[in-house]
Copies of this chain bind each other. A is one copy, B any other.
Amino acid sequence: MTKASALHRPHLVKRLAAEGIRLTAQRKMLVEIIQDSSDHLDAASLLRLAKKRDSHIHRATVYRTLDLLKRLSLIDELDLMHLEGEKHFYEVRTKSEHFHLACFRCGKIVEHKTPTFELLKKEISKQTGFRINVIRLEVGGECRNCGAQSSNLPRKVGVP
């Protein structure tokens, strides 16, 4: 489950400071790990990585920090179609909307982007009057590779 890119590195720590958020050592560390990760991390993985740097950091701190970053719209929460259990994954929010495709067969996660998605977002606001804070599009199915190879059962969902 590797992220497509970690190119731009918006300095989240600075943005936290700008918000007047108390900058604890733990928060700095967690934010750095999230930013530097090339994967979509879930809470447990984040905790595991954090413990390598400070073995005393606690699960609750990780959850509280993720909550904070979510509320500040600095990160987005993903389900990735619950391909592996009920956990959530996190990624730094970028300016341009993208979404995720999950292959039920091989488990691959692909990030994708198209102007139609941006258009859709604008349209939704206009049509419904919602002020959109979060928009999450997830697609589950069979990637090109897997579709080419066979016609067995998808792993979790789909035609039986």
Contacts and interface: CB of A to CB of B under 8 A. Distances in A.
Interface of chain A: mostly helix, strand, loop or mixed: mixed
B117 A101 contact: no
B130 A124 contact: no
15 contacts: A19-B160, A70-B157, A71-B160, A73-B158, A103-B130, A110-B130, A116-B120, A129-B144, A130-B143, A131-B147, A132-B140, A133-B157, A134-B138, A134-B140, A137-B137
Say how many copies of this protein the assembly contains: 2
Interface of A: 19, 70-73, 79, 81, 86, 101, 103-104, 110, 112, 114, 116-117, 119-120, 123-124, 127-144, 147, 154, 156-160
Nearest to A135: B139
A135 B133 contact: no
* Max count, chain B CB within 10 A of own CB: residue among A123, A128, A139, A154: A139
Contacts of A123: 114, 116
